[in-house]
Structure 1
Amino acid sequence: MNRTENVAKNLTFGVISKVFLLGATFLVRTLFIRILGAEYTGVSSLYSNILSLLNLAELGFGSVLTYELYKPLKDNDEETVAALVLLFKKIYTAIIAVILSVGLLLIPFLKYIVKSDLNQQDLLIYYVLYLADSVASYFVAYRTMVIEADQKRYVINLAEIITKFVMYICQSVYLVVTKDFLGYLVIQVVFTGIKNVLLHAASLKMYPYLGDISKEASKVQLETSRIYKNAKAMCVTKLSTVILNQTDSIIISMLLGTIYVGYYSNYYMLIVYLNSIYNIIVTSIEASVGNLNAELDTQKSYGVYKKIDFLIFCMNVFCVTEYVCIVQDFIAVWIGDGYIQKMSLVAALMITFYLQQAMNTVVTYRQTMGLFEATKKVYPIMAFLNIVLSVVLGVRMGVAGVALATGLSRFFTSFWYEGKVVFEKMGHSLSEYLTKQLLNGVFTVVTVLMAYWLVSLISLGGLIAVIIKALLTGLIVIAMLFTVYHSSDEWKWTVEYIKGKLW
């Protein structure tokens, strides 16, 4: 299949999987909060963040190794692919050992991080299960990279939808019947193992030559020096990004208490759902963009960049506006008025969310162009700035300050610098990138304020208010986008593309 067909197939499977999984995840989350309460919700979110930090042992090898696969897969070079997979296997074996070791060494320090009234022995068991689930996810990573780099992300999506959908059903039934957090976690670990088995079998069926990678790999001598150089650069990027995105719950827990992590996580969980929608687009196109960039045609790459970036921008306006306009009503209907937080938290979360998603296309191009070394310097600055701002703003503004610090740290560092690197690589200037981002940002702010003012005139409450406000907000966003952008080439291309897929 050509790149467009691969993107379409990946996108189709991605949408189907997310529709099913988001519905199932939402059901489980609702049952979790209603049955186990804010304390367990806080512990769950906190442990997830801690394990995300432990996953730093992966050091960003995934992006680097996937980049190395684009050209040999494009050239049908089975020997080089096999040699790379063998290298990946060795690397990920070491990664698993590091994560497990560091994770166990952290156990004595948990009492200083987790401020909870729950039984300490139970908290320890929960942590060990989270650790086991995290480690298990890496056992087939070196094989799934080949599937993804070969523009067949839909295979991974299929395995995920089968295992996770069944897992969520089992977890829901278990929670209703037993109200037990321990068994809930055990089910999660078991289904992670089942997914690994399915992906392992799929990779062998699709690439039979990977069954004996040692034999195939012996025919090729890899340029490991370049791979490790890029990996070191990506290590810095990965470390800094995780510190940026995964320390909020830890800082909130230490400054304000673990229960506030639970309140924060309810709002953040909805953002995770929005991120998963973006991930459908990004994961569907990333391998195809990598395949395109392997041709080294910067003019063609830039043309595709503008189309993808416009699509991401439209999604950004829609998601941010919808979130601001309906989240408070939604939280009240979903889990009750007692979980509603100040509007300042909503604003802080959306500023941070918008800046992250506005960089989606730039980050995709940076990774698929192999520009790992060029951007590594700015990331440690971003991570350090985030820690400082999180503490300072957290003390002054509470939870909203911690959330806002993440966005401000990104804005003053990687937001402009990565754009500079990628645009210069494609023969364009930083000023062109910043001008486009500024115009997009102004349009988004105006749209959000207009929509929020109009929906605030609706005096209804309950679920009917959420539905009406969501529909009205969507119409406002579409009207604004059409009014301003209907004559642009990117708008016309997007409309024609959608028509071609629907009719």
Structure 2
Amino acid sequence: MANSFGVVKKAKRNMIAGTINKFVVMLCPFITRTIVQRVIGAQYLGLDSLFSSILTVLSLSEMGISSAIVYCMYKPVAEGDTKAVNAILNFYRKVYRIIGIVVLFLGLCIIPFLPRLITGSVPEGINITLLYLIYLFNTVISYFLFAYLLPLVTANQRDDLNSNRNTLVTLFFTVLRVAVLFLTKSYIYYIALIPLLTITNNIWIAYTVKKAFPELSKCAGNVPSSQIAELKKQVAGTFISKLCGVTRNSLDSIFVSAFLGLSLTAIYNNYYYILSAVITMLSVVSASLIGGIGNHVATRSKDENFNELKRVDFLYLSLAGWCSTCLICLYQPFMRIWMGEQMMLPNVAVVLFVVYFYLLKLGDMRSMYADTSGLFWVSKWRALGESVCNFVLNYSLGKMFGIYGIITATIISLFFCNYIWSVQITFKHYFKRSAGEFYLYQLKYSLVNLGICIVTLLICKGVSFLFSGKVIVLCIRAVVCVVIPLLLYYTFYRKTDNYIYCKKLLIKR
């Protein structure tokens, strides 16, 4: 009982600290992007998006390793096996340093090709190579400092330590970077603070972890060869599952810069930033459900879990539909206030972004059953297929249709590879049944979502016709987006079994 109480206490502490951290991590880039655009211009935001995207792709070699290390640490940490934990940590430190060298080498190899990734002019007086080297140094430095200690925090259920540290450091450096930008108007000085933030973060990680876990944070000993084989398997599975998600927006940003220029890259990423913020908020729902779903996959029949999938998917699709409605009704009024008319995309692009968002969310609940049943390796060709499809379509459609082509390319790869193909894999290898019933089920609720979205949008158009103030229009539209969809959802669903079930589930939680 005492142990269960301790787990619950740690979970609550982690959740509170994590929620605060997510809010800060979302808010601070919003503030800095606004100030950079107002003080020195949109092209600098485009450079930030381009270089961040390049280095995200280069850092793919790291994906999966942290998760695999945490997975392998759970048992020795729970058993108090200090020697085993130290050996895993020692192995992780060596691997991280090898990755750092690989990323540094690949990053330097890209320097001659940088001009080809930028269409049009660059900000006057900016040394692109120097700027890129600062970004590269920032990416590489963590591999050689103390980032390898972070799995200890997660394995010991003390993610609050990491969240609190990240919150404080992010807040402090956001204030510092904004002050430097206002005082110097220099983007180089502004960016030069990023590696300082990373170094500070790493030193604080080392101090916090070594103070909290003095015996566990010593790198010593060797991991048995049998355990290294298990680590490789876990790394491969996690790498495949994360590959598409990480490259998706990064490739889009790179192609936007290469074909359309830095200013449009900044505008594209402003819209994507709002999209990712909504995705982050919805992740709270999936995070709260995945533990229970994992337990049910292990203890219940496939038929029971299929029925459960339909119920939780009903709730999630309703939330995703409501978020889609809010996005299509509020995107442009918000962007008009935030960045101004000159930093807005046409309405067609907004519709494409909303379709992009909804397709991304369409498979979230189903994917949790795939993940908890260990279908990572089975999905390897699907993951590779989506990445290749996205790359080829980004190049071809981006060249022909510009920003519309690039977003459409992502939508096509999402629909056929991330949705259709993934559903087939999950139903073939886990549920052991035809996916037809699930497709029809999602189509029915998606059509309802589309109808609610259209009705709400028409009412919001009327609001814009009646009122002229930007802030007033945004506020009234926001109220409409809350009231109208809720009334329509209640009208459509109030007598259905899924609605009654989800209502009880939400009240319980």
TM over 0.5: yes
Q: How is 1:7-86 mapped onto 2 (pairs within 5 angstroms)?
A: 8-69=12-73, 80-86=84-90
Question: Equivalent of 1:448, from 422, 428, 453?
Answer: 453
> In structure 1, how many angstroms separate the alpha carbons of the residues matched to 2:260 and 2:158?
44
1:362–1:106 CA distance, 2 compared to 1 (3 A) = same
How many residues are matched?
Answer: 498
Aligned residues of 1:298 and 1:427 also touching (Cα < 8 A): no
CA distance in 2, matches of 1:282, 1:157: 19
* 2:100 is the counterpart of 1:96: yes
Deviation, structure 1 residue 425? 5.6
Conserved 8 A contact 2:370-2:430 = no
Superimposed CA distance per residue, residues 85-113 of structure 1 (whole angstroms, 9 cap, x where no aligned partner)? 33332222211111111112211211121
Contact 1:394 1:402 in 2 (8 A): yes
Which residues of 2 match residues 65-464 of structure 1 at below 5 A? 65-69=69-73, 80-115=84-119, 116-119=121-124, 122-138=127-143, 139-149=145-155, 151-215=157-221, 222-282=226-286, 288=291, 292=295, 309=313, 312-423=316-427, 426-427=430-431, 429=433, 430-458=435-463, 459=465, 460-461=467-468, 462-464=470-472
Aligned AA (1:444): N
Change (3 A) 1:407 1:375: same
Q: Distance in 2 between matches of 1:12 and 1:485?
A: 33
Q: CA deviation at 1:164?
A: 0.7
Partner Cα distance (2:146, 2:437) in 1: 41
Q: Is the 8 A contact 1:45 1:261 kept in 2?
A: yes
Q: So what's the TM-score if we normalise by structure 2?
A: 0.86
* 1:354 partner letter: Y
| Change in 2 beyond 3 A, CA 1:184/1:495 | farther
AA matched with 1:24:
C
Moved more, 189-198 or 56-65: 56-65
Counting aligned pairs with the same residue, the percent is 24
Q: Helix, strand or coil for the counterpart of 1:412?
A: helix
**Structure 1 residue identity aligned to 2:457:** Y
- CA drift of 1:492 comes to 5.5
C-alpha deviation, 1:372, in angstroms: 2.0
- Which residue of structure 2 lines up, in the alignment, with residue 478 of structure 1? 486
Deviations 1:144-179 (A, max 9, x none): 234335554333222221111111111222222222
Give CA deviations for 1:21-42 in whole Å, capped at 9, x if unaligned. 4333322211111112121121
Distance change (3 Å), C-alpha of 1:194 and 1:470: same
Instruction: Compare 151-160 and 346-355 and name the one that shifted more.
Output: 151-160
Question: 1:28 touches 1:168 (CA, 8 Å); kept in 2?
Answer: yes
Q: Give the whole-Å Cα distance in 2 for the aligned partners of 1:167 and 1:463.
A: 30
Q: Is the 8 A contact 2:122 2:262 kept in 1?
A: no
Say if 1:333 and 1:463, in contact at 8 Å, map to a contact too.
yes
Cα deviation 1:100-158 (Å, max 9, x = unaligned)? 11112211211121233335762222111111222234454433234335554333222
Are residues 10 and 33 of structure 1, via their aligned partners in 2, closer, same or farther at CA, if it must alter by over 3 Å?
same
Q: How far did 1:324 drift?
A: 0.7
How has the CA–CA distance of structure 1 residues 223 and 419 changed in structure 2, closer, same or farther, with 3 Å as cutoff? farther
Shift of 1:297: 5.3
Q: Match of 2:175, as an amino acid? A: I
Q: Is 1:9–1:154's contact at 8 Å kept on the other side of the alignment? A: yes
Deviation at 1:67, TM superposition (A): 4.1
Q: Give how far 1:428 is off.
A: 5.6
Q: Which moved more, 1:446-455 or 1:239-248?
A: 239-248
Q: What is the CA–CA distance in structure 2 between the aligned matches of 1:196 and 1:495, rounded to whole Å? A: 44
- Could you tell me which runs of 5 or more consecutive residues in structure 2 were left unpaired when the two chains were aligned: none
Q: Is the 8 A contact 1:14 1:280 kept in 2?
A: no
Deviation at 1:285, TM superposition (A): 6.3
Which one-letter code corresponds to 1:174 in the other structure? Answer: V
Provide closer, same or farther for how the CA distance between residues 208 and 480 of structure 1 changes in structure 2, counting only shifts above 3 A: farther
Cα distance 1:195–1:472, how it changes in 2: closer, same or farther (>3 A)?
A: same
Structure 1 residues 50-91: Cα deviation after superposition (integer angstroms, max 9, x where no partner): 111111121433344444445656666665544443333222
- Rounded to whole Å, the distance in 1 between the matches of 2:293 and 2:73 is 9
| Contact kept in structure 2, 1:240 and 1:379, CA below 8 Å | yes
Q: Give, in whole Å, the separation in 2 of the partners of 1:32 and 1:324.
A: 26
Q: RMSD of the alignment, in Å? A: 3.3
Give, in angstroms, the shift of residue 432 of structure 1.
4.5
Tell me, yes or no, if the aligned pair for 1:351 and 1:404 is still in contact at 8 Å.
Answer: no
**Could you say what secondary structure the match of 1:89 adopts?**
helix
Task: Check whether the contact 2:328–2:354 (CA below 8 A) recurs between aligned residues.
Answer: yes
Bigger Rg, which one: 2
1:137 and 1:128 mapped to 2: Cα distance?
15
Q: What's the CA shift string for 1:355-382, capped at 9, x where partnerless?
A: 2233333444544544321110112221
Output one character per residue of 1:327-366: Cα deviation in whole Å (capped at 9) or x when no partner.
1111111121122221111111111122223333344454
Q: Name the residue aligned to 1:468.
A: 476
